[in-house]
Amino acid sequence: MQLLSTLTTLGLLTPPEGAELVALVPGAIVTLVAVVFILLDVFHNKGTSREYQAYFAAIGLVLTAASCWYLWDMGLERPVFFGMLYLDRYSLFFSGLACASAALMILASPAFLRSHQMDRGEYYLLILISVAGMIFMVQAADLLTMFIAFEVMSIPLYVLASFLRKDSRSAEAGMKYFILGAFSAALMLYGIALIYGATGTTNLEYIRENLFFLSAAGASHGAFGMVMIGVLLILSGLAFKVAAFPFHIWAPDVYTGSPTPSVGFMATAVKVVGFATMIRVFSVAFPLEVLRGGFFGWGWIDVAFVFAIGSMLLGNLVAVTQDNVKRMLAYYGIAHAGYLSIGFVAANSHPSFFLHNDAILYSLTAYTVALVGAFGVLSYFGRRGEAVETYADLGQLGIKYPKMGMIMTICVLSLAGVPPTGGFLAKFYIFRTGVDVGVQTGEMAFIYMVIVGVIGSVIGAYYYLKVIVYMYMKPALREVRPLATKGKLWALGACAAATLYLGVFPAKPIDVCRSAIMSMSGVPAEVQATIDRGQMELDRRLQVDED
Amino acid sequence: MVIADYLPLLVLTAMALGVVTVIICLAQFFGPKNPTPEKMMPYESGSDPIGEPQATRFSVKFYMVAISFILFDLETIFVIPWAMSWQDSAALGHGLYSFAVMAIFLSILTVGLVYEWSQGGLEWD
C-alpha cells in the first residue's frame, strides 16, 4: 500500500508530456476566452450596448472550432493524463459541432436580450463555460471526467434557463430544470459508484476489461445485477439530458420558459453531446453481451429500444396539439431523441454494425443547424419584451420579412424531413440503418422501430407545415418588431445555407462523419476489426476511383 | 502504528484546551465590563436568536458572504495539499511546472474575485 501510494504521488507530481497537452487545446481555448470575457465584462462601460461581447464570444468559439479542424489529423492513440481524456476525430467532431451551435445562438442573442431588459454579459459567459464542459465531456475517457464535465455543462444551463428572472415562467423553467437535473445527475453518480464497486475502476477501458475478466471467471448472470443497475442509471442520466421518453417531462416547460436563443443552444448542443457520450461510454465500457442484451434480454440495447419507440410516439403525437411553437419544438426534440435512438439501437446491437453510427453523427449535424435556425428566427421577432411564441403570433411574418420567412421555411422543412434539405437525408440515413441491420439480422424489432419512425415523420410534417401556413397564409394578430442585428442575420443565413448544403452536397459531410466514427479510440477489439474492415473497403473504393 | 505515534495529537489537544482556558480566564479577570442588552445576547451571525422563526428573515446579504466563503474555502483545499507536496515536486525537478500549474489556478480564481468586486459583492450595503 505504501509503495502504491508513493508511486501514485510520483505519477501525480510528474508533468504530462508535451504531446499530451495537445488534448487540452480546444477546451483550453474556450476556457481562456471565458476568463478573458469576465475581465471584458468587468471593464465594460455601463449603459452602453454589449453587442461587441457577443461578437467576442462568437469569435472565441469559432477559434475553438478552427482548432478542432487543425487537430483533425493529430489524434492520439492512447488517452492522456493517466487515462482521463481522449483526443480523436470523434471528440473533435462533436466539440466543433457544440461550438458552432453556441456561436450561432450567441450571435442571435443581443437584440433579444436588450428587448427583455436583460442585456447582461453573464449570458454569454454561461454559454462559454457550458461549451467548455461539453468539450471535455465528449473527450472523457473516465466516468469521473465525464461526470465533472457533465456538471460543468449542466449548471450554467440551469442558470441560462432562468436568465429572464423578472419573467415568472423563466424562473419556473430554471427551477424545474435545476431540481430534475440535480436528481438525474445524482442517479448517474450513484450508477458510477455501483460500477466502481463492481469493477474497482472508473476508467472506461479498464471497466470493460474487468467486466470481461469477471464474466470469464464464471460470475453468474445474477452477479451482474449490480453492474446492470449502474449501467441503467448512467443511461438514464444521459437520457435525461437528451430528453428521451421516460425522462422528457422537463423539456416542454423548460423550453417554453427559457430565453429563446438559449433554448436553441440547450436543445441542440446538449443533445449532440449527450448522444456522443452515450455512444462512447456504452460501446467502450459495456460491450459485454450480458449487459448489451438485445431484444428483451433486457440489457441497455433493450432500454434504448423502449426510449426510441416511446419518444417517437409521444413526441410526435403531443407536438400536434401544441399551439406554442417553442413547446412544439420541445416535443419535436423528444421525438428526435427517438429517431436518434433508432440509430443507436441498430448500430450498437452488434460490433459488426458499429460503422452505422455515422448516421447519428450526420443526423445530429442536420438537426443542429436546422433547429438553431428555427429558434433564431423565433427570437428575431418580439415586442416590448414579449417574445413571439404561438403559431398565431407568426401570422403574415413570412410576407412582411421575406428573408426570415425564407430561412424559417428551409429550417422547418429540414426538421420535417423534406428534400432537398439536410433533415431529409438525416432521417433517410437513420431509417436505412435500422432497415439494414434488421435485414441482416432478420430481427423484426428493428423494422418495427423504423415503421414507428416513418409514421412519426408523417405526423411531424403536419405540425411543421402548420408553421409555414401561419407565416404566409394567416392574418397577423398583433404587431411585432424585428430584433435585428447584423450578426444575427449572418448567423441565420448561415444556418439556412448549411441546411441546404447538407441536403444537396452530402458526400463531404458524410465522409467527415464516417472518418469521425472510424477514429474513435478505446473501442473493443471486435469493433476495431469492423473499423479496419471498413477502412480497407474505403481504401479499395478510393483506389477504384483513382483508376 | 503504535500508540506513541498519537502523542503529538494529545499534545495539540492539550494546548488547544489550555490556550482557550487561558484566554477566557484573562478576559474574565482583566477585561473591562460594561454590559448592554445587545452584548449579552448569544451570537448568531447578526440575526435575532430568540423569537418566531417566520418572523425574522435572514438578510440576503449573507448569501454573498457564503458564496465568497465557498470560493476561498475551496481555494484553501487545493492550495494546502499543493504546498505540502511542492518540495517532493521540486526534488523531482518539476518545481517550476508545479508552480506554474498553481499560478494558473490562482489567476483564474483571482479573475473571479475581480468579477465579484466589480459586481459589488464585497460591499455590505
- State the pLDDT at residue A272: 94
- State the pLDDT at residue A7: 59
**Chain B residues close to A13, C-beta within 8 Å:** 85, 88-89, 92, 94, 98
- State the pLDDT at residue A8: 65
- State the pLDDT at residue A119: 84
Q: By the CB < 8 Å criterion, does B85 face chain A?
A: yes
**Pick from A13, A15, A35: which is nearest to B85 by CB?**
A13
Identify the band that residue B69 occupies on the pLDDT scale cut at 50, 70 and 90.
confident
CA distances to A51, A102, A260 from A486, rounded to whole Å, are: 10, 17, 18
**Pick from A9, A14, A38: which is nearest to B115 by CB?**
A38
Distance CA A280, CA A505 (A): 28
Q: Could you report the per-residue pLDDT of A278-297, keeping only the tens digit for each?
A: 999 999 998 888 888 777 77
- State the pLDDT at residue A531: 87
Mean pLDDT computed over A94-111: 93
Whether the link from the prior residue into A524 is cis, omega within 30° of 0, is no
Nearest C-alpha in A relative to B105: A35
Q: By the CB < 8 Å criterion, does B114 face chain A?
A: yes
**Is B85–A14 a contact, with Cβ atoms under 8 angstroms apart?**
no
Among A317-321, B56-60, B78-82, which stretch is predicted with the lowest mean pLDDT?
A: B56-60
- State the pLDDT at residue A413: 92
| Residues near A312 by beta carbon (within 8 Å), at least 6 away in sequence | A335, A338, A339, A452, A453, A456
Task: Tell me: pLDDT of A98 over 90.
Answer: yes
Checking ipTM against 0.85, whether it exceeds it is: no
Identify the band that residue A475 occupies on the pLDDT scale cut at 50, 70 and 90.
confident
- State the pLDDT at residue A155: 94
Nearest C-alpha in B relative to A17: B97
DSSP for A394-458, please give it: GTTHHHHSHHHHHHHHHHHHHHHT-TTSHHHHHHHHHHHHHHHHHHHHT-HHHHHHHHHHHHHHH
* Best-predicted range by mean pLDDT (A267-276, A345-354, B3-12): A267-276
Among A23-32, A226-235, A400-409, A478-487, which stretch is predicted with the lowest mean pLDDT?
A: A478-487
**Pick from B88, B98, B115: which is nearest to A9 by CB?**
B88
**Is B111–A38 a contact, with Cβ atoms under 8 angstroms apart?**
yes
Nearest C-alpha in B relative to A32: B108
Interface mutation target, options A13, A35, A36, chain B, most CBs of B under 10 Å? A13
Provide residues of A within 8 Å CB-CB of chain B: 9-10, 12-15, 35, 38-39, 41-42
**Is B88–A13 a contact, with Cβ atoms under 8 angstroms apart?**
yes
Query: How many cross-chain Cβ pairs, A to B, lie less than 8 Å apart?
Result: 27
Identify the band that residue A147 occupies on the pLDDT scale cut at 50, 70 and 90.
very high
**Is A41–B115 a contact, with Cβ atoms under 8 angstroms apart?**
yes
Interface mutation target, options B70, B84, B92, chain A, most CBs of A under 10 Å? B92
Q: By the CB < 8 Å criterion, does B63 face chain A?
A: no
Q: Is A476 in contact with A395 (CB distance < 8 Å)?
A: yes
Identify the band that residue B42 occupies on the pLDDT scale cut at 50, 70 and 90.
confident
Between these two residues, B10 and B36, which has the higher pLDDT value? B10
- State the pLDDT at residue B54: 67
Task: Tell me: pLDDT of A1 over 50.
Answer: no
**Pick from B92, B98, B108: which is nearest to A35 by CB?**
B108
Reported pTM: 0.88
**Pick from A13, A38, A41: which is nearest to B94 by CB?**
A13
Task: Tell me: pLDDT of A11 over 80.
Answer: no
From A56, A41, A32, select the one nearest B104 (Cα to Cα). Answer: A32
Q: Is A430 in contact with A363 (CB distance < 8 Å)?
A: yes
Tell me the average pLDDT of chain A: 88
**Chain A residues close to B89, C-beta within 8 Å:** 13
Q: By the CB < 8 Å criterion, does B92 face chain A?
A: yes
Ordered by start, the domain boundaries in chain B are: 57-125
| Residues near A298 by beta carbon (within 8 Å), at least 6 away in sequence | none
Task: Tell me: pLDDT of A3 over 60.
Answer: no
Element (H, E) at A383: strand A381-383
Between these two residues, B48 and A16, which has the higher pLDDT value? A16
Among A134-148, A227-241, A355-369, B36-50, which stretch is predicted with the lowest mean pLDDT?
A: B36-50
**Chain A residues close to B112, C-beta within 8 Å:** 38
- State the pLDDT at residue A112: 87
**Whole-angstrom Cα Rg for chain A:** 23
Handedness of CA A279, A282, A288, A291 (dihedral sign): negative
Distance CA B79, CA B83 (A): 6
